[in-house]
Amino acid sequence: MILPPAILGMLGGGQLGRFFVAAAHEMGYPVWVLDPDPHSPAALIADRHLLAAYEDFAALDELAQGCAAISTEFENVPAGTLDYLDKFVVVRPSAAAVSVCQNRITEKTFLRDQALPHAAFAAVHSEQDLREAAAGLFPGILKVARFGYDGKGQALVANPEQAIAAFQQFKGETCVLEQRLALDYEVSVVLARDESGIVTSFPAAENCHRKGILDVSLVPARASTELRAEAAALAARIAEGLGYIGTLAVEFFVVRGELLINEMAPRPHNSGHYTLDACLTSQYEQQVRALCSLPLGETRAHSAAVMVNLLGDLWYETTPAGHHYREPDWSKLYAFPTLKLHLYGKHHARPGRKMGHFTVLDGDPERARRVAMAARAAIGIVDAP
């Protein structure tokens, strides 16, 4: 075991890294954060900020020399960086596991090879691949293979001609073409797996999106006990197939009552924020535990929860004179006694940028949902989830 006061390292300084730092601090570990952003939210509360690129080998050497173990908060840290650090220090998750999740083609191929349920897809390297794509893939969604998130780098396409036009807009980047599905709803499972293969799963969340960005997560998901158990079992199979150590999230589509795996994230997940307030152990504490070879914590939820994202749009007010930047009136949220507000300390709000979230807790799932929707409207989020 790696015990306090050993120093831990975090690659990436966003809100997921910030919550990792907070969890590690509570457990007695100092944390160094490496991130190229001078205003990174995680670095603001870390014990040290290495302000450097992820491929700055002098900074990586310094991180490896000072830290007993290193993790990451997002999947786009270069796999080569993780592989380099692994030569000198404990790194979890591994470069091999992260690299599968960094590329949609690699990810879909892994799911196919593991005989895991997923939507039909085709790898797209050229316009000719789209001309030759199976007719059953249309209407479809064309997605860039790398660096697409929160709906970015995606286009709905009805036929090969539209797909080719979208491919050109993506400047010929490698893509995947996925069959567009009529979804019942979406769910996600966050789990942790340790080095001995023990897996602990958090309760499945039901997720609603707005403009491609997660808007609301409801826990427990409004699905059958059997479907929630199947989702947890499929997520565990993915973790085993990857040889994964750490916190992992898996997103699912539910189509005609059947689960299809959408994608996985080799890190804590937005839909798992509720674990901070509703579970005995948070997804971030599990990340620390798995990283340090500690026994995994109990993942049971002690209440129902509804998590609502707060995007940068809330910081802008529209008046006849134009758009004005202003801080939202947080008193409207603090008026709800069962609501927990989390703001990430980001330097500047932008439309679509995740600036914070709140979670409403209640013993009754439907009452939690009603209160969360009322709070959501009170702060100015007016369109339906």
Q: What angle do CA 191, 194, 200 make, to 5 degrees?
A: 35
β-bridge pairing 213-219 and 8-11? unpaired
Question: Which residues are within 8 A (CB) of 271 and not within 5 positions of it... i.e. 6 or more apart?
Answer: 188, 190, 205, 207, 214, 217, 249, 251, 307
Confirm or deny that 130 is annotated as ligand binding: no
Confirm or deny that 209 is annotated as ligand binding: yes
Residues 234, 75: contact at Cβ < 8 Å? no
Confirm or deny that 18 is annotated as ligand binding: no
Residues 91 and 49: their CA atoms lie apart, in Å, by: 18
Confirm or deny that 62 is annotated as ligand binding: no
Residues 286, 296: contact at Cβ < 8 Å? yes
What is the enclosing helix (H) or strand (E) of 354? strand 354-362
Confirm or deny that 14 is annotated as ligand binding: no
Distance (Å) of CA 196 to CA 85, 244, 284: 22, 10, 19
Confirm or deny that 28 is annotated as ligand binding: no
Residues 340 and 277: their CA atoms lie apart, in Å, by: 8
Confirm or deny that 310 is annotated as ligand binding: no
Confirm or deny that 146 is annotated as ligand binding: no
Confirm or deny that 263 is annotated as ligand binding: yes
Confirm or deny that 150 is annotated as ligand binding: yes
Confirm or deny that 180 is annotated as ligand binding: yes
Residues 121 and 142: their CA atoms lie apart, in Å, by: 10
Confirm or deny that 186 is annotated as ligand binding: yes
Cα–chain-centroid distance for residue 358? 16
Tokens of 4: 């306090």
Q: How many CB atoms lie within 10 A of CB 134?
A: 11
Could you give the maximum distance between any two Cα atoms of the chain, in Å?
61
Residues 50 and 243: their CA atoms lie apart, in Å, by: 29
- Find tokens 């396409």 and name the residue: 157
Confirm or deny that 86 is annotated as ligand binding: no
Binding residues: 104, 143, 148-154, 178-181, 186, 209, 262-263
Binding residues for ATP: 104, 143, 148-154, 178-181, 186, 209, 262-263
